[in-house]
């Protein structure tokens, strides 16, 4: 019985020490001024950027919304996106590591 209790205790500690948070960081109609009469609406695209911190304040590398936006516009083969959303997700592991993912999603548009 003590082996089962120990496994449950370890599982509870691991569950309490780890977690994740996802927030919508922003919504924008476009990243550049757009005249909808002069553009062709393309496909939905997304870009991501990753970051990692140790002890919540020592960055090994930083996630960047600009990098995620650049990746999304490159995938869409355009420089303009409409209906942009930005999601920011943090995953915490044992209070030591913090992984961050910024995901930008939008619809590519090109000029006629």
- HSE toward the beta carbon, residue 101, CA cutoff 13 A: 11
**Tens digit of pLDDT for each residue in 84-112?**
999 999 998 877 899 999 999 999 999 88
Query: pLDDT tens, 21-32?
Result: 778 777 889 998
Would you state the pLDDT for residue 81?
95
For residues 5 and 99, the model is more confident at: 99
Q: What is the pLDDT of residue 74?
A: 94
**Tokens matching residue 23:** 């927030």
Residues with Cβ < 8 Å from 56, sequence gap 6 or more? 95, 98
* Count of beta carbons in the 10 Å neighbourhood of residue 67: 17
Residue by residue, DSSP assigns 45-100 as: EEEEEEEEEETTTEEEE---HHHHHHHHHHHTTSSEEEEEEEEEEEEEETTTEEEE
């Amino acid at each position: 019985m003590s082996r089962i209790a120990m496994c449950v205790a370890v599982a509870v500690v691991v569950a309490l020490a780890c977690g994740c948070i996802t927030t919508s960081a922003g919504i924008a109609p476009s990243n550049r001024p757009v005249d909808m009469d002069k553009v062709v609406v393309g496909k939905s695209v997304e870009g991501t950027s990753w970051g990692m911190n140790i002890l919540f304040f020592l960055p090994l590398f930083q996630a960047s919304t600009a990098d995620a936006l650049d990746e999304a516009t490159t995938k869409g083969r355009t420089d303009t996106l409409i209906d942009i959303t930005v999601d920011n997700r943090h995953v915490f592991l044992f209070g030591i590591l913090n992984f961050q993912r910024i995901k930008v999603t939008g619809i590519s548009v090109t000029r006629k």
